[in-house]
Structure 1
Amino acid sequence: MRDIIDILVVAYLIYIVLAWIKDTRTWALFKGVMIVLVVASVAYLFQLHTLWWVVSNAITVGTFAILVVFQPELRRALEQIGRGKLFESLINTSDQAEDGLTDEAIEAIAKASLHMSKYKTGALIVLEQETRLGDVERTGIRIDGLISSQLLINIFEKNTPLHDGAVIIKNNRVSAATCFLPLSDSMEISKDLGTRHRAAIGISEGTDALVIVVSEENGIISCVRNGKIKRGLDAELIKKILLSTRKKKRSERKKVIWKGKSKNE
């Protein structure tokens, strides 16, 4: 009986850890760690001494590197445990991964982008894809509202409380506003681009998020994905890009924990 309780407790703790990291950028790191552990196991079983030496030393160094790089995430997790909010968030979390943006949402984002472009209202709209952006959402103010052009326009209206920072969109809802994004340190970014564009590139370098940017200086609409920026978008291009994310999600509807998804084919 004691062994059964022991196994159940350990299994539950593992579940908690997996459920938590799945909602942050740490999920990609976890998959990388698992690959390294598999390689280490193969090297040990087949007595591949050189490979084992390389991998074992990489694990030793990597452990300290992880503690340094992911210090904010680790600190946040400990704070949530101390406040008793980690278990609450796990209970209330429903992985509602949908097929992608609806036609209404695509139309609303395109309409809002064109309106803000016309009046040179700066905007930064981040669309979550497979990589969870829970840690980014927590830097802003929770909204959880249906996507509409008027809501987006009101959020980014100049001199309003929510106009600074980025808006996060997931599951066809405006999840959060005034979110802080990591700035890219790439030297290849044009000097003509400001902080808003550098932030868009920064979040797209570390995640698979799609970002729509409206310049406050000239009203140019840009799309950023995988660290690459495409400028001068019109309504049709915006809709085409947003529609491509929906098609991608529909083609990957498999329930595979390794991919961090939640729907069956």
Structure 2
Amino acid sequence: MSFADLDIVRSLANIVDILLVWFVIYKAMGYIRGTKAVQLLKGIFVILIIKFASDVLGLNTLGWIMQQAITWGFLAIIIIFQPEFRRALEQLGRGRLFSRTNFNEEENDEKMVEAIIKATDYMAKRRIGALISIEKETGMGDYIETGIQLDSKISAELLINIFIPNTPLHDGAVIIQRNHVAAAACYLPLSESPFISKELGTRHRAALGISEVTDSVTVVVSEETGSISLTKNGELYRDVNMEKLRELLQNDLISQTKAKSAASTRWNWRGKKNG
């Protein structure tokens, strides 16, 4: 083998090395998105920037403090985030950490949609106010932390129970994350759009507000009229009937799962064929 061939092999190895590192970082970021670990990463970046600035400016005392924080910080991270690390290792052992699991995901989405539709229909007929936000790609961890943590399997009965008037959890939003009721009584950001009708209340403003800052889909039931609304991508769909609600939820939640599942299947098939 000539030197030119060795250079080509080394170059290819470097490219593969970079791509693998990028892939691992990308998957890790996707795994922690919407969790408390995101805030932790921000804190680490701040410490590293301060450490770099102190070294450049010759701030020895500040640099020593930052070095101690870096040295002992990793031990603290392992202790604080021990449950998350354990969960990641369990998924790695099952072969699920670096591959999206689409098995039964579509079925779970269909059950979630049916539960939301059933609960919405029940509450609309009885004019029970409700605010249900479904997380998609953009993490909603910050908003989940403002409410009461539940982490419960989703069901129509649970959603109805939460929004029954004069109960501790009825005031605020329910956030659904990965087909689970993550939290109730959550605070969502209110939209400041001047084009919102003045007859709409706080629930509709909150639903529109969260759709402006995330890609979530939010269902609103008005306690005054019993009408159903849906928000997504900064748009408000008012007076939605049950057929239209089903169509919107299926298009935004189930259809995307089917597309991702098909893409994953094609990728795996090609990988096996080429392998």
Q: TM-score range by the shorter chain?
A: 0.5 to 0.7
Number of the residue aligned with 2:12: none
Larger Rg: 2
Q: 1:205 aligns with which of 212, 220, 224?
A: 212
1:24/1:131 contact within 8 Å kept: no
Structure 1 residue 250 corresponds to structure 2 residue 258: yes
Contact 2:147 2:186 in 1 (8 A): yes
The count of residues paired between Structure 1 and Structure 2 equals 195
- Secondary structure (helix, strand or coil) at the match of 1:246 reads helix
Kindly indicate whether residue 89 of structure 2 is the aligned counterpart of residue 89 of structure 1: no
- Residue of 168, 186, 199 corresponding to 2:193: 186
The structure 2 residue matched to 1:137, chosen from 141, 144, 147, is 144
Question: How far apart, in 2, do the equivalents of 1:26 and 1:186 lie?
Answer: 32
The alignment partner of 2:219 has SS state of strand
The match for 1:175 among 171, 175, 182 is: 182
**Preserved contact between residue 20 and residue 90 of structure 1 (Cα < 8 Å):** no
Aligned residue type for 1:103: E
Aligned to 2:55: none
Structure 2 counterpart of 1:226, which letter?
N
1:100 and 1:250 in contact (8 A); partners too: no
CA-CA distance at 1:16 after TM superposition: 11
What is the match of residue 224 of structure 1? 231
What letter is aligned with 1:139? T
The 1:208–1:119 alpha-carbon spacing in structure 2 relative to 1, beyond 3 Å, is same
CA shift at 1:210, angstroms? 0.2
Residue of structure 1 aligned with 2:33, choices 14, 22, 38: 22
> Alpha-carbon deviation of 1:175?
1.5
Alpha-carbon spacing, 1:20–1:110, altered in 2? closer, same or farther (3 Å) = closer
Q: Which has the higher contact order (CA 8 A, sep 6+)?
A: 1
- 1:106 CA displacement: 1.8
* The 10-residue stretch of structure 1 (240-249 or 81-90) with the greater mean CA deviation from structure 2: 81-90
Q: CA deviation at 1:140?
A: 1.1
Q: 1:238 to 1:178 in 2, by over 3 A?
A: same
Distance 1:209 1:100, change over 3 A: farther
Normalising to structure 2: TM-score of the pair? 0.61
Q: Quick one: distance in 1 between partners of 2:153 and 2:184?
A: 13
Give the counterpart letter for 1:113 in structure 2.
T
Contact in 2 for aligned 1:204/1:211 (Cα 8 Å): yes
Q: What are structure 1's unaligned runs of at least 5 residues?
A: 1-10, 31-77, 256-262
Q: How does 1:153-168 map to 2 (within 5 A)?
A: 153-168=160-175
2:113 matched to which residue of 1?
106
Kept in 1: contact 2:150–2:182 (CA 8 A): yes
Q: Quick check: 1:148 aligned with 2:148?
A: no
For 1:250 and 1:16, how far apart are their aligned partners in 2?
A: 20
> Which residue in the other structure is 1:44 paired with?
none
Question: CA shift at 1:136, angstroms?
Answer: 1.3
CA-based RMSD: 3.3
**Cα distance change on mapping 1:82 and 1:103 into 2, 3 Å:** closer
**Percent of aligned pairs with the same residue?**
44
Runs of 4+ in 1 over 4 A off after TM superposition: 14-17, 24-27, 81-84, 93-97
Q: Is the 8 A contact 1:25 1:132 kept in 2?
A: no
SS of 2:176 mapped into structure 1: strand
CA contact (8 A) 1:167 1:178 kept: yes
SS in 1 for 2:182: strand
Deviation (angstroms), 1:171: 2.1
TM-score, with normalisation over the residues of structure 1? 0.63
> What is the Cα deviation at residue 22 of structure 1?
1.9
Shift of 1:184: 1.1
Query: Which residue pairs with 1:235 in the alignment?
Result: 242
SS state of the match for residue 153, structure 1? helix
* SS in structure 2 of the partner of residue 252 of structure 1: helix
